[in-house]
Structure 1
Amino acid sequence: MTELAEPTTAWCDRCGESAAAGPHPGCATARALEPPRYCGHCRRRMKVQVLPVGWSAVCVEHGELRG
């Protein structure tokens, strides 16, 4: 799988709602502690694995993110 760079997203990677709908203050706060749950490109729910040394999130269409 390819690792994605920080993309311009159309969807919030935490709640899956439109990023253009306005700020998501709750999502921004949670993003500091949690991995993304939705793909910012296609809004699909991602498979997320959290490890002691980081996390990985996989979208079936767009590949893997690591943090």
Structure 2
Amino acid sequence: MITVPGPLERPLRYGVYTGLELELQAPDAIPRAAQLGLEPPRFCGQCGRRMVVQVRPDGWDARCSRHGVVDSVELGRR
């Protein structure tokens, strides 16, 4: 059985805030709000596609059409 990695599982191939391949992403490309942890990821780290993001009062969830859903609550448990 083939396991498909989630949108934010390591190793990431694409920047989750820019959608660019990590080798091509400039160090200053990440927005300041994201560096401070105030912005949810907007792009899938596996395929670079734009994710559907829902921001809630208690966190956020993001869905990639190819790699599934990730929830900020789940990230806190790791």
Instruction: Check if 1:30 corresponds to 2:33.
Output: yes
Which residue number in structure 2 is paired with residue 59 of structure 1? 64
Structure 1 residue identity aligned to 2:67: H
TM-score (norm 1): 0.79
Structure 2 residue identity aligned to 1:42: C
> In terms of mean alpha carbon deviation, does 28-37 or 43-52 score higher?
28-37
TM-score (norm 2): 0.69
Structure 2 Cα separation of the partners of residues 42 and 49 of structure 1: 19
Deviations 1:3-58 (A, max 9, x none): 66632111100011111225533516332111000001001100000000000000
Which residue number in structure 2 is paired with residue 49 of structure 1? 54
Change (3 A) 1:15 1:4: closer
Structure 2 Cα separation of the partners of residues 39 and 14 of structure 1: 9
Count of residues in correspondence between the two structures:
65
Structure 1, unaligned runs of 5 or more: none
Which residue number in structure 1 is paired with residue 19 of structure 2? 16
Structure showing greater Rg: 2
